[in-house]
A = this chain, B = another copy of it.
Amino acid sequence: MTTTSRAVPGGPGRRPERPQLTERQEERRRRILKATAELAGLGGFDAVQMREVAERAGVALGTLYRYFPSKVHLLVATLQDQLRQLQETLRKRPPTAAEPGARVAQTLMRAFRALQREPQLADAMVRALIFADRSVGPEVEVASRLTSAIILDAMGAGGRPTPEQLSVARVIEHTWHAALITWLSGRASSAQVRTDIETVCRLVGAPADRP
């Protein structure tokens, strides 16, 4: 048993994230993520069962685990996908409000409406994100960075945000996640979520350049 360092498709190469993937491998990966999103959309976190994902994606169970080392990894990767899509959409149609705080609120409410259309998918992704332990650290970090970037963009702090702006964005991101959790677990209405989002955006002001 030498230092095998079993070559995971998802990456021994450290930096290049996901190094060179064969065409067929890229294809497999896509099928896995598609199957995951389908099942998640159907029944949430619990409905994403690894055997079922593997079957739908037409890969062996072992292969699924080679691409994504755990169910949480798989779902966080799915979240990354969705966040990137959202980022695309926002780039095309940015929020229109004048105040930074209002723009952030507008952006998050848009995202929230999208999640409301697929509450089960939202459940799967968010639960995975917050349940993730240290072993998923890097992947969660990527998702978190995407979220922060979306918020900072809405704040108008696109390029080089100040430390203060970063702190504010963190607080907003935290509130966003926690509000989603309470909504998903049925302890808060969607109206309550809206209130929470508006409250935090209003209170912290999401200032673009305030000293």
A interface residue numbers (CB < 8 A to B): 45, 127, 130-134, 136-137, 140-141, 144, 167-168, 170-171, 173-175, 177-179, 181-182, 185-187, 195-196, 199-200, 203-205
Contact B178 A132 (CB under 8 A): no
Contact B174 A195 (CB under 8 A): no
Closest to A164 in B: B199
Tell me the number of copies of this protein: 2
Contact A168 B203 (CB under 8 A): yes
Contact A196 B171 (CB under 8 A): yes
> Which B residues are in CB contact (< 8 Å) with A205?
203
The smallest beta-carbon distance between A103 and chain B, in angstroms, is 17
> Which B residues are in CB contact (< 8 Å) with A173?
178
Contact A187 B141 (CB under 8 A): yes
Contact B140 A199 (CB under 8 A): no
The smallest beta-carbon distance between A152 and chain B, in angstroms, is 15
- CB contact under 8 A between A178 and B174, given known A130-B131, A168-B203, A196-B167: yes
